[in-house]
Amino acid sequence: MELPAALRQAVDTLLEGVPLATLKQAAETLSQRYRAETRDGRLHLADDLAAKAYLATRLPATYAAVRASFTAVEDARNDFVPRTLIDVGAGPGTALWAARDCWPHLAEAALLETSPAIRAIGSDLARHAAPVASTYLAADVTGRWPDLQAADLVTLAYVLDELPPAEIEPLIDRLWALTGDMLVIVEPGTPAGWQRILAVRTRLLTQGAHLIAPCPHREPCPLTEPDWCHFARRVARSRLHRLAKGGDVPWEDEKFIFIAASRHPARAAAAARVLAPPQTASGRVRLKLCEADGNLRDQSLTRRDGNAFKVARRLDWGDALPALPPST
Ligand SMILES: C[S@@+](CC[C@H](N)C(=O)[O-])C[C@H]1O[C@@H](n2cnc3c(N)ncnc32)[C@H](O)[C@@H]1O
């Protein structure tokens, strides 16, 4: 997955003239802070350099994760056509760009962000996101919020891990209150990220939300540690991305987890979700499935299963399954 061309060009322009060694050092510091989930009272994106390191090394991956989460929403709710967006902890506007790509009727976006450095960069990028009229609002979402009308789509991507755990529940309630239709929350695909999403899921269910994706049911999550639910997207690395990260391959795999919940039920309810890369060998495919009855199932199909096998071998990690056709 790649960034939309207009965003990629605007990012390249912002990164022009930043010395590579400086960017590399800032990227390393940022990466250590994210890996350790450092909460020392300082913002990770506290200054212009950290914000630019984020553009070079994290934006492509978080974009891919958010965009993939939106695809799952679109698959389940093809009647959902958002015109308004509220994105919280917006950073450079990742969710705005992904929503604009997924839903061309998006017209207005309010982007809440506490860091002045990334707010300045995000506002600059958002000028290229026509036809969406975007407004960045300075807000620490653990404190006082600006007055906002509910939006069709509300998003929170890669933010929960930066907040004190006690702030999560009140934040989810606030986001849900602002949700006209769909709320999408994305986190890193780590065991800790999954635990946070599980807590969000529980909270949203008590609020009466309909789960849209990835869970095909409202039952307790059937996965148990050390296993955890997550998905992955392959992200193309630009030359600068590669140099700033010191990696040699032109891609990386971003692991992520998300939850999409709505005030309306899914139109195309999934019979199951594929929870791991399907294992294929000649004439056989093995699927790890989370099923609509709340159970986990390891399903093997062979050529003898006819149509069901044909459907199964086209499936990918993260796909929703309609009911598999009966074996023929
Ligand atoms: C990892 S970045 C994610 C940015 C963007 N959502 C994305 O997916 O690429 C987390 C963002 O949340 C912002 N943030 C952290 N705590 C916040 C708070 N209390 N209020 C508002 N924004 C916050 C950070 O400044 C940062 O821009």
CATH node for 5-262: 3.40.50.150
For residues 273 and 136, give the distance between their C-alpha atoms in angstroms, rounded to a whole number. 36
Predicted local confidence at residue 204, as pLDDT:
98
95 vs 240, residue with greater confidence: 95
Query: So where are the chain's domains?
Result: 5-262, 272-321
- Is the distance from the beta carbon of residue 141 to the nearest atom of ligand 1 less than 6 Å? yes
The encoded tokens of residue 200 equal 């969000």
Per-residue model confidence (pLDDT) at position 38:
84
Residue 272 in contact with residue 289, Cβ under 8 Å? yes
Contact present, 175 and 139 (Cβ < 8 Å) = no
CA–centroid distance, residue 71 to ligand 1 (Å): 22
Q: Can you spell out the DSSP letters for 150-218?
A: -EEEEEEES-GGGS-GGGHHHHHHHHHHTEEEEEEEEEESSHHHHHHHHHHHHHHHHTTPEEEES-SSS
Of all residues in the chain, the percent with pLDDT exceeding 70 is 98
Cβ of 309 closer than 6 Å to ligand 1, yes or no, is: no
Peptide bond before 19: cis, by omega within 30 degrees of 0? no
Q: To test ligand 1's pocket by mutation, which of 37, 111, 114 has the most ligand atoms within 8 angstroms of CB? A: 114
pLDDT of residue 245: 76
- Whether residue 326 has pLDDT greater than 70: no
